[in-house]
Chain A
C-alpha cells in the first residue's frame, strides 16, 4: 500500500522528500497531542484513521473520482458554497494550512508580516507538499482580507488555476446584491469547469447533504454544553477540521455515531475531565489542520475547551439553507442569504459576531473566553477590542503564530488565566 501511495504522490508532482518531513512531523505531533489524551470516545477512532490516511486513502478517493470525470475544487473560506460545487458533481476540499512548512520559501514571495495561514498555503504550494492542492482542478479564492486577496494573485501565478469570487465587505442591500451576482457567476464557472448544467434536483440534493453535515456538527456542539464535557476540545476541533476534507455523507454518519456515544456518556455522567473543570470558549481566527496549539495548551493547563466561534467551528455550521425551493434561482438566493449571515471580521460593521459569542458562551456554559488571533491578522486583531468590551466573562487575548517558540510564555498565561476562573 505504501508503495502505491508513493507512486500516487509522485504522479501528483509531490516533492517526496519535503512531503516525508511533513508526514513524520505530523505523526509525531499527533501522537503527542492526540493519542496521549485520556478518556477519548471510541467514536474518535474513525477520525484518527482519517488523519492517518489524510494523504493516502482520501487522496486515492479523490483521484478515482477524477478519473470518473469529477472535478476537485479547493477553497479557502467558508463563504464559498460547497453545495454549488457538489451540485455539478464536484468535490470540495478546504486548503487552508495550519503548519509552519515552506515558510522560508513563502517569505521569498510574501511580506514577512503576513499571517501564518496565508504563509502556510503558499509555502505548501512552493514546496509541493500538499496532495490536496495538487489534486485540484480549480482553486476558488475570495476577496475577504487583504492578505488573502493579494496572495491569490501569487497563487494563480504558481498554479494558473485560481478563480476569485468577490465577497462584499458590508451586509447592506447593495452588498447582498453583489454577493448574489457573484454566486450566479460562480455557477457559470462551475458549469464550465464540469461541462455540465446544474439541475434543480441535484442542487436540492446537495443542499440537503451539506445541511445534514451541519446538523451533525451542531449536534456535536450541543453535546459539549454538558458538564462534565463528554469530549475534549481537541477532539471536537479535529472533527471540525476533518469536515473540510472528508466525504460529507460518510463524515455526517460518523459524526452522528460519535454523538450517539456522547449522548450515552452524558446520560451516565462520563466526561473527559472531572465535573467542574473550568470551561473555555475560543473565539477568533480559523484553526486549519494541523493547528492544535491553542487547544492543546488550554487543555493541558487544567481546563476544557467547549466551543469555537471560528471558521473551524460555529461559523461553518451556524445555520442551515432552507430546502424547499422550487427553482435554481430561488435556491441560490437562499444560499446567498445563509452564507452572508456568517459573522466574519472581514465585514464592517460586524455586531452579529458579538451576539454569536454571547450566545455561545451562554449555551455552552463557558466561564472564560480566549480570544485567538493569528499574528498580523488585522480584522480579528481589531475586533478584539469590541468583543472584549461587550462580553462580561474573564477574557484572555492570545496573539500567536504556528511556531512553538512562544509556548512557554503562552502556557503561563493560559494557566494563570484558568487559575483565576
Chain B
C-alpha cells in the first residue's frame, strides 16, 4: 500500500511517500505557477493508492484528482511531528506565507493553535523581502555567524513599512548584519506574541522552511529560554502528517 502525502505550500511542494506504513521518501520542489501540474507529476511518478493533500493548495489537488483526501496544515503538522518525535508538545512553523504555533497533548492531539491572518509579518516571505533589500541570498544566511546583541531596532512588523525602515538604516550606514539581526529579532518578537496565546512546553519543535536557519533558531532559543529542536524532517512535517493521516483513514 502506497500513500503519498503532499503539502502544497506557497513556496514549496513537499512530498512524503509511505510504503506499507513505512516512510520511504521525502522530496520537495518549488511550487512555481503550476502547483497542480507538479503534484500530478508526483502522483504519476509514485503511483500511490491514496493521495492526501494539505497546505494552502490542498483543495486545488482535491478538486482535480479523485482519489484524494485533505486535512488542514495544523493537524498535518501535529501528526507529522508526533510521528517523528512522539514527545513533542509545541510546534512552531514558519512557512512561506504563514506562521503557526500549535500546542499538543501527550497523544499528539491539537489542543490550541494560533496562526497569523492575511498579513505576512513574521513569515518566510517577510524574511525573504528583507533579505532582498539587504542583498543577502537566502542560501548564504547560514554562513553568517551572528551574535545576539541587537543594536538597532525595526519598529514595524508590517512588511511594507519594515522594508522602508531597512532601506533607511542602510542609508544611515548601519552594517547589514546588524540590520539582519534586528529582522530576526522582529520575527521572534512576533512569534513570541503568538506563543503567548497557547501553552508553551518542551519538547518544542521548530518546523517549516525557515527552521533550517540556524541564526533564527538561536535568537528564538534566547528569547524563549527553551531548547528548540529542529529535525532533519522539519520542512516535511506537513507532508509526513498527511501521509500518517492517510494511513489512519485507511485503517478505519
Contact = CB atoms under 8 A, between A and B. Distances in A.
Interface of A: 399-400, 405-406, 408-409, 412-413, 415-417, 419-420
Residue with the highest number of chain B CB atoms closer than 10 Å, among A409, A416, A419, A420: A416
Contacts of A413: 74, 113, 115
B109 interface: yes
A409 B110 contact: no
B109 A409 contact: no
Contacts of B115: 409, 412-413, 416
A408 B98 CA distance: 11
B7 interface: no
A412 B70 CA distance: 11
Report whether over half of chain A's contact residues are helix, strand or loop; otherwise say mixed.
helix
B117 A420 contact: no
A416 B118 contact: no
Interface in B29-70: 56
A409 B55 CA distance: 10
Closest 3 pairs (CB-CB, A-B): A416-B74, A415-B72, A416-B72
A415 B98 CA distance: 16
A420 B109 contact: yes
A420 B73 contact: no
B111 interface: yes
Interface in B108-147: 109-113, 115-118
B117 A416 contact: no
B82 interface: no
Nearest to A375: B117
B111 A409 contact: no
A419 B110 contact: yes
Nearest to A412: B72
Given A416-B73, A419-B71, A420-B109, A406 B117 contact: yes
B98 A419 contact: no
B89 interface: no
Contacts of B110: 416, 419-420
11 contacts: A408-B56, A409-B116, A412-B72, A413-B113, A413-B115, A416-B72, A416-B74, A419-B71, A419-B74, A419-B110, A420-B110
A212 B118 CA distance: 43
Contacts of B71: 415, 419
A420 B109 CA distance: 8
A400 B118 CA distance: 9
A4 B75 CA distance: 55
Contact of B75 (A399, A408, A409, A419): A419
Interface string B98-114: 10000000000111110
Contacts of A412: 56, 72-74, 115
Contacts of B98: 409
A369 to B, nearest CB: 13
Nearest to A401: B118
Contacts of A417: 113
A269 B194 CA distance: 42
A400 B115 CA distance: 14
B118 A409 contact: yes
Contacts of A415: 71-72, 74
Contacts of B112: 420
